Structure 1
Amino acid sequence: MGFLKSFFTNVFDEEQQSVADRMVSSFDALSEEELESHLGVSRYGEFELTDAVRPSYSLDIVPRAGFRHDVYRDEESRSDVPVLMAATTKRRLMDTFMDLLEPLGPVVDVVIETSHGHSGGGHTDLYREHIDMPILQSILWDYEDLLTNDGCTGVAVLNPRTPQEVQLDEHKLLIVYGSDLRKFESVLIDHHVDCDEQLRFITEAEHVHSTTDRYIQEFEELKMRLGMDGGV
């Protein structure tokens, strides 16, 4: 699979930072053979991970498909925004993402996110306004491998006039924000991603991300194709 230990960065949610040292050591304590064996496992039952991320060695959370409802608290506006969080197997990921984009409308904004060259959970966001959906989807399909398998690249597509947003994040989770999510729920169900309010995601426990020099270069190419400024 080409996983190299030097390419891995442990990533934790903000509320887990206080235990980061303990969590890092759970991987550091592994032998090279144990590490390679764990990183080489991509399938858990019917669910196949992309190359972007791997769960904890102890499998605190076993990856599986499904979606659940959540709420994002916007402190600036002091409002709660409904959220769908979803995971799907590798072979369905890009098709599901592309179909989730359709309800956003014919003209959208796009953000690409990179944590290449960052440590401690930092990242850079690059923004492009007003792009036709068919053009955007064509470009994203050209970079399917990067978007699917790079653990340091994420993309968000939004319609600020709705407002609604669809993300394919660095963990290859699908996240939808907006006031009316029924069309997005239907898309997920059509792609065999069913509702499970007890579902836990790989981000909610220790996990590791993977990237390569080739993906760093491809991210730069994607940035130029989308007409974005800024360096990585």
Structure 2
Amino acid sequence: MGFLKSFFNNVFDEQELPGDGGAATALASSFETISEFELEAHLAVSRYGAFELTDAIRPSYGLEVVPRQGFRHDVYRDEESRSDVPVLMAATSKDQLIDTFMELLEPLGPVVDVVLETSHGAAGGGHTDLYREHIDMPILQSILWDFEDLLLNDGCTGVAVLNPRMPQEVQLDEHKLLIVYGSDLKAYEGILIDHHVDCDEELRFITEAEHVHSTTERFVEQFEELKMRLGMDGAL
């Protein structure tokens, strides 16, 4: 596994399997037995039909889940309040991902809180959350547009924007999925449909099978700049 070990240590920061935090086990399951040529060819594929992945993530070599556009309804169980929270989960092609995300932020209102999620340097699927309260939406969106490349292509950076007074939350996660939490999500459904992201309750996402995340030192530096621009100093 000499080349693969070097490749994943230097290029791909994390690999996940459902219920398994061990990267070595995950690698053995799909990537260890393929040749260097097969690996390079697989990682070079970013388009599956009309759907284009960002540089942040790639599916398993066996393609248990083929990436495609759409959204589905789900439920998040809040154990603290013992309540079920409605969820929309969506995948959009690279060319419209940030536009769709920015429009999904609009129903949250003029002043929001923002959370940055990072797994840079983390082991075993861990991550750190950084929180900033009370930022004007136009200022936040302007800053996020300045870091479009990071948000699109770094597989170790995620961002969530929320209005705790509603309460609703919109997330662009490390896998570049769009996730909306809260009650009365009709406005968000309408935005997704307007962007040709249609409802498909049978849709499976790249997170539901083996996959790999990508990052670079350049993205680590950009994340630190974004953190500074948002006035974030510590972890939650």
Matched, 1:12 2:17: yes
Structure-2 residue corresponding to 1:217: 221
Structure 2 counterparts to residues 126-205 of structure 1, below 5 A: 126-205=130-209
Deviation at 1:27, TM superposition (A): 1.1
Q: 2-side partners of 1:134 and 1:187: how far apart?
A: 18
Q: Does 1:24 align with 2:10?
A: no
C-alpha separation in 1, matches of 2:173 and 2:157: 7
Q: Is the contact between residue 12 and residue 121 of structure 1 (CA under 8 Å) also seen in structure 2? A: no
- Of all paired residues, the percent bearing the same amino acid is 77
Q: What letter is aligned with 2:196? A: H
Structure-2 separation of matches of 1:103 and 1:156: 14
Take 2:92 and 2:125, find their aligned partners in 1: how far apart are those partners?
A: 24
- Report Cα offsets for 1:64-103 as digits up to 9, x if no partner: 0000000000000000000000000000000000000000
Structure 2 residue 108 is matched with structure 1 residue 93:
no
> 2:20 is paired with a residue of what secondary structure?
helix
The aligned amino acid for 2:154 is D
- Corresponding residue for residue 208 of structure 1: 212
Distance across 2 between alignment mates of 1:83 and 1:101? 15
CA shift digits 1:88-131 (9 cap, x unpaired): 00000000000000000000000000000001100000000000
Gaps of 5+ in 2: 1-6
Question: Which letter does structure 2 place at the counterpart of 1:230?
Answer: G
Looking at structure 2, the residues matched to 227 and 191 of structure 1 have their Cα atoms a distance apart, in angstroms, of 32
Q: Following the alignment from structure 2 to structure 1, what is the Cα–Cα distance between the partners of residues 216 and 22? A: 27
Q: Which runs of 5+ in 1 are unaligned?
A: none
Q: 1:53 maps to what in 2?
A: 57
Instruction: Decide whether aligned partners of structure 1 residues 198 and 19 sit closer, same or farther in structure 2, where only a CA change above 3 A counts.
Output: farther
Any idea what the Cα deviations from partners look like across 1:170-214, whole Å, max 9, x if unmatched?
A: 000000000110000000000000000000000000000000000
Amino acid at match of 2:202: Q
Deviation at 1:7, TM superposition (A): 2.1
- How big is the shift at 1:31? 1.8
Query: Could you say which residue in structure 2 is the equivalent of 1:230?
Result: 234
Q: Of 95, 105, 109, which residue of structure 1 is paired with 2:109?
A: 105
The alignment status of 1:65 with 2:93, answered yes or no, reads: no
TM-score by length of 1: 0.94
Distance 1:230 1:78 in 2: 29
Quote the RMSD (CA, aligned, Å).
1.4
Alpha-carbon distance in 2 for matches of 1:229, 1:30: 43
TM-score, length-scaled by structure 2: 0.93
Tell me the distance in 2 between the aligned counterparts of 1:230 and 1:117.
16
Matched positions, count: 226
The change in CA–CA distance for 1:161 and 1:113 in structure 2 (over 3 A counts) is: same
Structure 1 position 81 matched with structure 2 position 74 = no
Contact 2:60–2:212 (8 Å) recurs in 1: yes
